[in-house]
Amino acid sequence: MLIISHNLLFKTDMDFPKHAVMRVNIAWQKNTKEVEQVLTYLKKHDIYLDYPQGRSKPPKPSITLDDAIRIAHKFPNVKYFAVSNVEDPKAIFEIRKRLPPHIELVPKIETVKGVENLEAIVKKINTKFIMLDKEDLYVDVDKDHNLYQNLVETVRKKCKSCKIDGLELQGVVFSPHKAIKVNGKAKNKK
């Protein structure tokens, strides 16, 4: 699966493969209206809606998990719903029960506890994917490089044994700051 930030559609003239999935990170959206405008604009694309549960770094979301789930129900192009800082199989299962069956729930593994509970999480929600947030995992282990490397390899091995795909960041795109248009209105994005 190729997941691309929806912001690249607005800020670059890059061509993307038709199978690319657009990621909308709710942390960067001001309110539910803005999320709905973006999803309406992206109606021809499959969407990876990313909810930053327990996010400690800025920006912190102003949109609740309940609002994000409600939005996911409204837009049939939302095919994936990611949740950050997943550690507890029972807690993520409660979210799974609230999402439409066509949406694949993607737990984001960002902590040692999440790595330890990975198999139980995957089994509980019967998912095909997890996302490994290596940057946050590195912070969680207090920048212990050896422990970090071991945990990344552990996640990869667990994904293989669970027969799921582990999604990892493969690169970053830098571009100049530009105003974008959503529904005909210019907005400055940071």
Listed residue (88, 106, 108) closest to 47, CA to CA? 106
Work out how many domains the chain is built from and give that number.
1
pLDDT for residue 190:
43
| pLDDT tens digits for range 39-57 | 999 999 999 999 999 888 8
- The parent domain of residue 72 ranges over 3-188
Contact 26, 35 (CB under 8 A): yes
Q: What is the pLDDT of residue 178?
A: 63
Give the span between the Cα atoms of 38 and 23, in whole angstroms: 11
Ranges of the chain whose pLDDT falls below 50: 188-190
Mapping DSSP to helix (H, G, I), strand (E, B) and coil, where does residue 48 land? strand
Query: What is the model's pLDDT at position 88?
Result: 98
Taking alpha carbons only, the member of 110, 125, 112 closest to residue 162 is: 125
pTM over 0.85: yes
Q: CA of 183: how far to CAs of 44, 61, 126, 187, in Å? A: 15, 22, 37, 10
- Under a CB-based contact definition with an 8 Å cutoff, are residues 41 and 67 in contact? no
* pLDDT the model gives residue 9: 84
Residue 120 sits in a domain whose CATH number is 3.20.20.60
